[in-house]
Structure 1
Amino acid sequence: MSLSSVDVIRIPTSGPGDTSGLIKLIETGRIDPKSILAILGKTEGNGGVNDFTREYSTVALAGVLASRLGISTEEVEHRIAFVMSGGTEGVLSPHITVFTRTPLPASQARRTEGKRLSIGIAHTREFRPEELGRRAQIAETAAAVRKAMTEAAISDVADVHFVQVKCPLLTSERVDAAEARGAGTVTKSSYASMGYSRGASALGVALALGELAAEPREEDVLRRWDLFSAVASSSAGIELMHNVVVVMGNSVSSSSDLVIGHAVMKDAIDAAAVRAALGSVGLRADGTSNAAIGERIVNIFAKAEAAPDGLVRGLRHTMLNDTDISSTRHARAAVGGLVAGLAGTTAVYVSGGAEHQGPAGGGPVAVIARA
């Protein structure tokens, strides 16, 4: 069995194009560019169709790494999984999280006990516009999840605690291109397409991990809210036309000093679930030691969603009816404040739009911490 050392470094950013923190850690030897497997980031855009901070951040980071790896930016983006999530409403702090993996010599004895953090990445093929939100995206995502699990040396689905997917969305040009070929898209709305793409991707994760009793149908996307993954997190963006999959879990093949655990929020104010996620990695949020918790946490990843029935525990909310601010921005701010308060840090990764990612109105929350 080959061993690897996995590390996760969280770096604050002053803007979507800020690469200074990454450069400093590379120059001081803290990060070896060759070991970088994935970079997840929170950027201060609107998180919508026209949020170009995601692409801006990806291009900036890829440019820095291309010059140090001696390859093109296109090759960097294929080699490294970039997942930029727009929207840092409320107290959320912009940052990037860098995941590295270094193979260990076969002769090196394992120094840790139990299973430790391991990650794997995979890319689907390019999708045609008419395939978004449909069977092809579900199936291809499921295949990519299985491939990433193999790369991470995770054989038991119970050891998978978070699956981050970056998926595409539809633009008017992409819709027109499909119609020119006589193919209809799942929707003509760019904004609505984000939900379809996120939802189909999440169902693909659920399919791969055996979380569904039967293979989901196309008509289940954004309709069967009882079908979901407890560990999926999908983020849609304009900057790609394929899915990028990052599987995070624990494996005996990893000698990392990090572990990951998760829980599932039933709604946007489910503090008990956040505490349970912290508890899954040996942390206790009792309201008195949150600063110490913040020091041990490497990062928290959570999904946020406005309950589709317009209620939170029987009381009406207005997130779905606000013309000025989209519901995903409301949800990110609400869940971000809850998670930050319990975790003792505002540099947490909270992504909006949790279609089929946890129960309707809720979502998964995962914690990476030092063991």
Structure 2
Amino acid sequence: MALMREAKVHRIATQGPDDVSGLAAAIASGAISPAGILAILGKTEGNGCVNDFTRAFSVQSLKIELARHLPTAAVEEIAYVMSGGTEGALSPHILVLERTAGHPVHDRPSLAIGRALTPALPPEDLGRLAQVQMAAEGVRAAIRDAGIDDLGDVHFVQIKCPLLTSERIQRAEAEGYSTATRDTLKSMGLSRAASALGVAVALGELSLPDIDEAQIGRDMSLWSSRASTSAGVELENHEIVVLGMSRSWSGPLAVDHAVMADAIDVAPVKAAMDRLALGGEAASLVALLAKAEPGTSGRLRGSRHTMLDDSDISATRHARAFVGGVLAGLVGTAEIFVSGGAEHQGPDGGGPVAIIARRNGG
């Protein structure tokens, strides 16, 4: 009989990118076992752009704290997915995903978590089919790590992917290669796009031969219903976290997902909440993860918006604040993980949402 496992998700508020006091307290109290930590996701209050070093600052601070409890190799195996940008009233926090031994007796599927880290991505492969393939292979590895047998039981795939910097572009060119773009900001979108298409391929939503390299980051008719990707300067590989349901896992946590057709499409999210029995005494919210996208048309249900025309504030920052407000009003907390830039992640202007709930007061 396969070893039963249980997933735990700890949502911890932070006072800044370097604030690990909540994590330290949870470890000291025994609420979190460092050896069981698979991944830490977080919202940091930077600008979410190329020069947002709050992400790297947060990762460094987390690693320093965890090094007090774990050997270096174990610290480096953890996936650190920091998403910069807490515009509007989005509240900075971290989500600590833990895997422990589970109870052998259970009568229903429970939250399953898988993790995978890919090799470093050569700069010349970013935004190209080679990145799609690498991401797909990494997602498959994370699904195996979670022990999920049916792809339909995968509800969310979170990827932290690299971006291009001037140094990385120069390194590629010195070796005789060209990069997909020399614009470092555009490289973030291309990396998110290729990683998201990798999720679609791994989940059987698309096949690799059906994707033309010219479509990456451009043809928004191609998308995954369960991908969430975020690019950062603090890494050169892909750090992948899969959330799904499995009968080989036990415990009170469950996950479901929805796809918003646009930035105010809350009906699918409400439906997912109903499936999880949220809103009553049967379950309580643990975490919400979502993608935010201004869309390429410049309109929302026929009305013009200015997100794409604002030269002062990035459109992704507008979208995070807007979608964050919509979803916070729905679930009653602003401590939610809303990531901007949804290329191939849900339909154009919309995006996937994942909800983790604790059932029956467990």
Question: Given the two structures, how large is their TM-score scaled by the length of structure 2?
Answer: 0.96
The equivalent residue for 1:33 is: 34
The equivalent residue for 1:347 is: 335
The equivalent residue for 1:336 is: 324
The equivalent residue for 1:310 is: 298
Q: Distance in 1 between matches of 2:321 and 2:107?
A: 38
The equivalent residue for 1:165 is: 159
Q: How does 1:243-254 map to 2 (within 5 A)?
A: 243-254=238-249
3-state SS, counterpart of residue 142 of structure 1? helix
Deviation string, structure 1 residues 159-214 (Cα, Å, up to 9, x no partner)? 11110000000011111111111211000001000000000000000000001155
Stretch of structure 1 that moved more, 38-47 or 207-216: 207-216
- 1:62 and 1:76 in contact (8 A); partners too: no
Query: Tell me, which stretches of 5 or more residues in structure 1 are unaligned?
Result: none
Where do 4+ consecutive residues of structure 1 move more than 4 Å? Answer: none
The equivalent residue for 1:145 is: 139
The equivalent residue for 1:177 is: 171
1:10 equivalent to 2:11? Answer yes
Aligned partner of 1:187 among 178, 181, 185: 181
1:234 equivalent to 2:229? Answer yes
The equivalent residue for 1:66 is: 67
C-alpha RMSD of matched pairs (Å): 1.4
Aligned partner of 1:264 among 259, 281, 288: 259
Size of the alignment, in residue pairs?
357
3-state SS, counterpart of residue 7 of structure 2? strand
The equivalent residue for 2:51 is: 50
Query: Tell me, which stretches of 5 or more residues in structure 2 are unaligned?
Result: none
AA of the residue aligned to 2:138: A
Q: Distance in 2 between matches of 1:117 and 1:194?
A: 30
3-state SS, counterpart of residue 67 of structure 2? helix
3-state SS, counterpart of residue 68 of structure 2? helix
1:218 equivalent to 2:218? Answer no
Question: Given the two structures, how large is their TM-score scaled by the length of structure 1?
Answer: 0.94
- 2:133 and 2:208 in contact (8 A); partners too: no
Q: Distance in 2 between matches of 1:185 and 1:113?
A: 51
1:363 equivalent to 2:357? Answer no
Identity %: 54
Q: Distance in 2 between matches of 1:353 and 1:32?
A: 33
Q: Distance in 1 between matches of 2:317 and 2:218?
A: 22
Residue 296 of structure 1 deviates from its aligned partner by 1.0
AA of the residue aligned to 2:36: S
The equivalent residue for 1:300 is: 288
Residue 48 of structure 1 deviates from its aligned partner by 0.4
Q: Distance in 2 between matches of 1:120 and 1:213?
A: 22
- 1:4 and 1:102 in contact (8 A); partners too: yes
Residue 217 of structure 1 deviates from its aligned partner by 2.5
AA of the residue aligned to 2:189: G
- 1:199 and 1:356 in contact (8 A); partners too: yes
Q: Distance in 1 between matches of 2:134 and 2:355?
A: 27
- 1:40 and 1:84 in contact (8 A); partners too: yes
Q: Distance in 1 between matches of 2:184 and 2:274?
A: 39
AA of the residue aligned to 2:185: Y
- 1:120 and 1:148 in contact (8 A); partners too: yes
Q: Distance in 2 between matches of 1:199 and 1:140?
A: 13
Q: Distance in 2 between matches of 1:51 and 1:277?
A: 33
Q: Distance in 2 between matches of 1:353 and 1:113?
A: 39
The equivalent residue for 1:87 is: 85
- 2:66 and 2:75 in contact (8 A); partners too: no
AA of the residue aligned to 1:352: G
The equivalent residue for 2:110 is: 116
- 2:228 and 2:342 in contact (8 A); partners too: yes
Q: Distance in 1 between matches of 2:207 and 2:133?
A: 15
Residue 2 of structure 1 deviates from its aligned partner by 1.7
Q: Distance in 2 between matches of 1:256 and 1:80?
A: 22
